[in-house]
Copies of this chain bind each other. A is one copy, B any other.
């Protein structure tokens, strides 16, 4: 059986295609008997509207593009889930984008937006096409940025207070009596990594503690860099008694390295992470960390995008989502 068209239903019932379209789209302009006859026929003929035709006519795709830096990174999962849920609720489908930190790819996704592939885009990449300044034609597109700030883009952002949360994490270590607290940063100078390090510095400053030479290691958010940075920190003349890592994965690397060095966590050294990823609480020891409301970040970003798509001007708006600090088993009072 070939796919039924609006025309087929119209012919079958002896009405015009326009009436069928109206009846099916619930425009309320169709008299009751006609309406039900049409709906019944559509059902019977197994009618489904052709999206390409509709999109062409309405000039919208009812799809959004969700672009992440690396689809393989579990960290984005819940955000994607949140976006998906909010999108489907609003009748939008979600196209998946993956830049792999490749500038060209990022441009491609902006292009897809302009092609009509999608009506709007949620960027979770922390990067922008590397052009001179920020082109105005891009800035006017319906884009919402989540998680990682993209400076001077003017796009509305949904984020957490990275610096504030980092400060809180370090404050926890301070409250446990630690004074020799080191930091394993993310890939400086990425904004998020800088902000988390800034929070660390602030907390130390507020506690009146100097940051000793070598106490700020720089990693790349991956397990192995947590290990190597940890080793460096421990080889210092005055090694730290606590480590604040800029993300959970590096914290795990650090903990594993400490175990290899025979240093018990949290008895000998405390470790704090950031992100509260999947299974962070299942690790041994369960990781003390900053929990981000990832799903909510996703839904909020999508909601914001819907408003932008509805024509609201949200330029420069920043929505801060609350984090919560989870004290678990990887931190203990200073020996």
Contacts and interface: CB of A to CB of B under 8 A. Distances in A.
Contacts of A78: 72
Size band of the A side of the interface?
A: 35 or more
Interface stretch (A107-115, A164-172, A188-196, A232-240): A107-115
A143 to B, nearest CB: 17
Contacts of A95: 63, 93-96
A117 B279 contact: no
Contacts of A73: 77
A295 B71 CA distance: 11
A282 interface: yes
A216 B253 CA distance: 35
Nearest to A117: B51
B55 A52 contact: yes
Nearest to A73: B77
Interface string A192-205: 00000000000000
Interface string A264-283: 00000000000000110011
A227 B82 CA distance: 28
Given A49-B115, A112-B93, A256 B278 contact: no
Nearest to A114: B48
Nearest to A223: B282
A141 to B, nearest CB: 12
Q: Which 10 A-B pairs have the closest CB atoms?
A: A52-B55, A52-B56, A74-B74, A72-B81, A71-B81, A94-B96, A252-B282, A48-B115, A51-B116, A51-B115
